[in-house]
Structure 1
Amino acid sequence: MPNRRDLAIFLAVLITAIFGSLAEARAPAGFVTVENGHFSIDGQTYAYAGTNYWHGAYLGHTDPERLVRELDFLRDNGITNLRVLALSELSELSRSVKPAFITSPGTYNEKLLHGLDRLLVEMAKRDMKAVLYLTNFWQWSGGMSQYLAWHNGGKIHDPDVDGEWNQFMDKSAGFYRCAPCQKQYLQAIAELTSRTNHLTGKKYRDDPTIMSWQLANEPRPGSDASYSEKRAQSYIGWINDTAKAIKQLAPRQLVSSGSEGIMGSQQRADLYTAAHDTPYIDYLTVHLWIKNWSWFDIKEADSTYSEALRKSRDYLQQHIEIAGRLDKPLVLEEFGVERDGGSYSPEASTKYRDRFLGEIYGLIEKNRKEKGPFSGSNFWTFAGYGRAASADATWKTGDPFLGDPPQEPQGLNSVFDSDTSTLAIISGHADRIAEITTLAQKSNAE
């Protein structure tokens, strides 16, 4: 029997043979890295203004002409980072997106993958970076609940039918403890990271356009109503183990969790901190939803806005402090507000959305000037030239894709190409982030 030292040497040789030496794998060549608690590309500080564009691969498959127009539009408005859904699971859930990347365990939709290939190629032409998330805690893309349905043989729980969201969250959290689910999930990640882009011949793990692999969209340890230490530890272990596995599969690229932050951690700062206090998670993510958390009511905007803004600042400050203690960059990767009056129409005004984005962008800019951990943001969400197909704003299979996912009214949080006032705020922020970054680079050089 080989001793432990011989086994360690064997494993080191094997990993080197497969992935190359760690130094070679991590050598900067347009890849985003983390240095001293900040993002860097080839030794230069990287900070960005971005958007959520979950449907980018879907457009690459169904409407590549619109994709190209929208990427040009985003580039012209200073957007350089896109957060994109890279794997979805075909589901019987009533409001889940169709088609899906994974049609059954081990079977993939090659047309959608070609769409993702195309998206990455077009992004590279425009010097954009992608954050690719690999499943979903929520039901709208199949997600963790579909993995459980595939492997546990039980009827899938549909919260859009019965409204039992706490039950849904607690059931979905079983994904972290489902061994066959984890096996399939990691196999899917291995397939994607080793995929060869059919347009470039380059493997995904070797593509610097991909900034980060993200474990999931908004993974949670369960509902706020039913905290348990066992469930929390399963969640923490899942983040560590999955991030470690991805680091082995794609060592040149970053790994992030996709967490909402404290609000997605059963409102426990200690749980959020513990889940991200691992060397395999490169940066922290936080989401900010003042409507969903009952901080703001668009129907009572004048009386609820000020307090919602105060809570938002306090919430982000908590994450700034945690990121500082962990010495990791921080990204606000989801935030938005409905159109005035709760309208879904692109013609409706956006007074409160514009006010909110301006305030939050100002906070990020101030933190950047102070050399704090805030390093990027992705507003929710960009719909571009898309428009709802039905008068009731309900999405149906075959309808155009907007930024709003299929379980939500189409236009709910969408930023359209016609939203000139909102886009002026976004592009102004992008300009200021670029200016702050340039000044910081000059200061460092001196």
Structure 2
Amino acid sequence: MLSRRHLLVAGAAALAAGQARAAPPSTFVTVRDGRLSLDGKPYRFVGANLWYAAWLGSPGAGGDTARLGRELDRLKTLGVTNLRILGAGEKSPAKVAIDPTFRGPGEDYNQDLLEGLDVALAEMAKRGMKAVIYVNNFWDWSGGMPAYLRWTGNGAWFQQGDPAHPWPQFADYSARFYGDAKAQALFQHYLRALVGRVSSVTGKPYRDDPTIMAWQLANEPRPGGSEAFGAPNLPTYYRWIAETSALIKQLDPHHLVTTGSEGAKGCLEREACVVEAHKPASIDYLTLHVWPNNWGWIDPRNQPATYGAGEAKCRDYITRHVAIARTMGKPLVIEEFGLVRDDRAFAPGSAATDRDRFYGMMFGLVEADMKAGGPLAGTNFWAWNGEGRAQHADAWFKMGDKAYAGDPPQEEQGLYGVFDADASTLAVVRAHAKAVAAF
């Protein structure tokens, strides 16, 4: 494992080298005057989460390149131009974990999934789309940080939702990852292989591919769940962000790097933590997730009665993070948000009155900030189910299922994801895309 001093020195050298060499081509997304920029103009987008893109692109069992093409065409027709996709996955015994994955504890990475990522990026390029690739996960539905800890023997492994380990024990356990030297060595080896990869489809190194907008350190990295563990762990968490982002910049000076953070909700409710986490020069923009059902702001079983007060909290949460981004002089992307359907239904085409209202509110705030020249660059709704459908009567994903949906294995298929049959929600997205394109 590289020492902290080595990484910081290397990162500084990489940044200096990046300044000395030619600027990224105009087809790369950059940061200019505190906003995302593309070809000298503000880069504003409507996006979606499509974590399973590499799985569809894989030539191995379960791959479905024809479906990948259909989903990308549907999204392009909607006006979606930016996709947040998963570029990692670790073998895990968790009941809700995906399989296959990009890696196990060794260095024999899954070439089918790596080629699947190559295919996904190449197909996105044909449609003028940009990708944000996250390279780890705080949650165990893709293996993630707990899988690394299991491999290194850092405490007794357990899965999220284990009743013997009530919340916030899982979050405290997963957050051990940042300070585990062996886990970091394993992670950095994969990171070097991924960021340094040459596409098997285009023959182009990833670092030279403008289809990639940004590398993201992880999905929802948190310093911990409890104050007792998380507060003392903050320096280690900040150091991990600084070192990992510097390493990526060393490997790839052309692409943006960001955290994948939820904002204050994933930072022990501390806005100061949000600032510190996004302070390094190697972190180009801030991220924000908005989950009113999960956070107890809107009761999913009594949504109409609790929606109004919950929406007000969401508006305030977004407003406060826009202010942080403006103060820091960095762009902001709302890269996850969602709300359950009416009566917590899962079926495609089910009524989504409050969800549509919620999407409309989110999009309206973004449009207003864009019009005012603010730091908000775009959104990625969670998530695109497309033609994916639950394979079981209870709507739960089972390990080995191949009909992927945007709802990850830890949730019922259809809980938050948007199906191709969800006409009312698709109309809201389409109208927003038209508004953004007009700026």
Taking the aligned partners of 1:415 and 1:60, their CA distance within structure 2 comes to 20
Equivalent position to 2:36, from 36, 39, 54 = 39
Contact 1:68–1:122 at 8 Å: present in 2 too? yes
Report the equivalent of 1:173: 175
Contact 2:26–2:40 at 8 Å: present in 1 too? no
Report the equivalent of 2:52: 55
Residue 292 of structure 1: CA displacement?
0.3
Equivalent position to 1:400, from 403, 411, 432 = 403
Taking the aligned partners of 2:18 and 2:288, their CA distance within structure 1 comes to 33
Equivalent position amino acid for 2:392 in 1? S
Taking the aligned partners of 1:393 and 1:235, their CA distance within structure 2 comes to 36
Equivalent position amino acid for 2:121 in 1? L
Report the equivalent of 1:434: 437
Residue 187 of structure 1: CA displacement?
1.4
Report the equivalent of 1:293: 295
Residue 194 of structure 1: CA displacement?
1.1
Contact 1:339–1:348 at 8 Å: present in 2 too? yes
Taking the aligned partners of 1:125 and 1:284, their CA distance within structure 2 comes to 28
Report the equivalent of 1:3: none
Report the equivalent of 1:93: 94
Contact 2:10–2:246 at 8 Å: present in 1 too? no
Q: Judge which range, 87-96 or 252-261, deviates more.
A: 87-96
Contact 1:387–1:400 at 8 Å: present in 2 too? yes
Residue 186 of structure 1: CA displacement?
1.3
Equivalent position amino acid for 1:388 in 2? A
Q: Judge which range, 218-227 or 383-392, deviates more.
A: 218-227
Taking the aligned partners of 2:376 and 2:35, their CA distance within structure 1 comes to 8
Taking the aligned partners of 1:243 and 1:287, their CA distance within structure 2 comes to 20
Contact 1:136–1:143 at 8 Å: present in 2 too? yes
How many equivalent pairs are there?
Answer: 426
Contact 1:82–1:128 at 8 Å: present in 2 too? yes
Report the equivalent of 2:3: none
Extract unaligned runs of 5+ from structure 2.
Answer: 1-5
How big is each residue's C-alpha offset from its partner over 1:149-177, in whole Å with a ceiling of 9 and x where there is no partner? 11126441112332523111111111110
CA separation of 1:341/1:229 partners in 2, compared to 1, >3 Å: closer, same or farther? closer
Equivalent position amino acid for 1:172 in 2? S
Contact 2:337–2:380 at 8 Å: present in 1 too? yes
Q: Secondary structure at the match of 1:365?
A: helix
Taking the aligned partners of 2:46 and 2:274, their CA distance within structure 1 comes to 24
Q: Judge which range, 358-367 or 270-279, deviates more.
A: 270-279
Equivalent position amino acid for 1:314 in 2? D
Contact 2:267–2:274 at 8 Å: present in 1 too? yes
Equivalent position amino acid for 1:93 in 2? A
Equivalent position to 1:193, from 192, 195, 210 = 195
Extract unaligned runs of 5+ from structure 1.
Answer: 1-6, 437-446
Report the equivalent of 2:73: 72
How big is each residue's C-alpha offset from its partner over 1:233-274, in whole Å with a ceiling of 9 and x where there is no partner? 111111111111111111000000000000000101111111
Matched, 1:111 2:112: yes
Equivalent position amino acid for 2:31 in 1? V
CA RMSD of aligned residues (A): 2.0
Taking the aligned partners of 2:322 and 2:14, their CA distance within structure 1 comes to 36
Contact 2:27–2:39 at 8 Å: present in 1 too? yes
Contact 1:334–1:379 at 8 Å: present in 2 too? yes
1:9-24 superposed matches below 5 A: 22-24=19-21
CA separation of 1:388/1:323 partners in 2, compared to 1, >3 Å: closer, same or farther? same
Greater Cα radius of gyration, structure 1 or 2: 1
Matched, 1:309 2:311: yes
Equivalent position amino acid for 2:103 in 1? I
Report the equivalent of 2:415: 412
1:97-246 superposed matches below 5 A: 97-152=98-153, 154-162=155-163, 164-246=166-248
Contact 2:349–2:419 at 8 Å: present in 1 too? no
Q: Judge which range, 210-219 or 338-347, deviates more.
A: 338-347
Q: What's the % identity of the aligned pairs?
A: 45
Equivalent position to 1:269, from 268, 271, 277 = 271
How big is each residue's C-alpha offset from its partner over 1:108-151, in whole Å with a ceiling of 9 and x where there is no partner? 11011111110000000001000000000011000001111111
Contact 1:339–1:352 at 8 Å: present in 2 too? yes
How big is each residue's C-alpha offset from its partner over 1:75-99, in whole Å with a ceiling of 9 and x where there is no partner? 0110000000100100111211111
Equivalent position amino acid for 2:437 in 1? A
1:346-385 superposed matches below 5 A: 346-385=348-387
Q: Secondary structure at the match of 1:160?
A: coil
Residue 28 of structure 1: CA displacement?
2.4
Report the equivalent of 1:423: 426
Report the equivalent of 2:347: 345
Q: Judge which range, 211-220 or 168-177, deviates more.
A: 168-177
How big is each residue's C-alpha offset from its partner over 1:17-61, in whole Å with a ceiling of 9 and x where there is no partner? xx9754435322311000001111121211100000001111112
Taking the aligned partners of 1:156 and 1:26, their CA distance within structure 2 comes to 45
Taking the aligned partners of 1:125 and 1:40, their CA distance within structure 2 comes to 21
Equivalent position amino acid for 1:430 in 2? A
Taking the aligned partners of 1:174 and 1:25, their CA distance within structure 2 comes to 39
Contact 1:224–1:267 at 8 Å: present in 2 too? no
Report the equivalent of 2:281: 279
Taking the aligned partners of 1:11 and 1:160, their CA distance within structure 2 comes to 40
Taking the aligned partners of 1:107 and 1:26, their CA distance within structure 2 comes to 35
Taking the aligned partners of 1:362 and 1:25, their CA distance within structure 2 comes to 38
Equivalent position amino acid for 1:382 in 2? W
Contact 2:139–2:160 at 8 Å: present in 1 too? no
Q: Secondary structure at the match of 1:346?
A: coil
Taking the aligned partners of 1:412 and 1:309, their CA distance within structure 2 comes to 19
Q: Judge which range, 127-136 or 102-111, deviates more.
A: 102-111
Q: Secondary structure at the match of 1:413?
A: coil
How big is each residue's C-alpha offset from its partner over 1:166-219, in whole Å with a ceiling of 9 and x where there is no partner? 111111111110011111111111101111111110111111101000000000
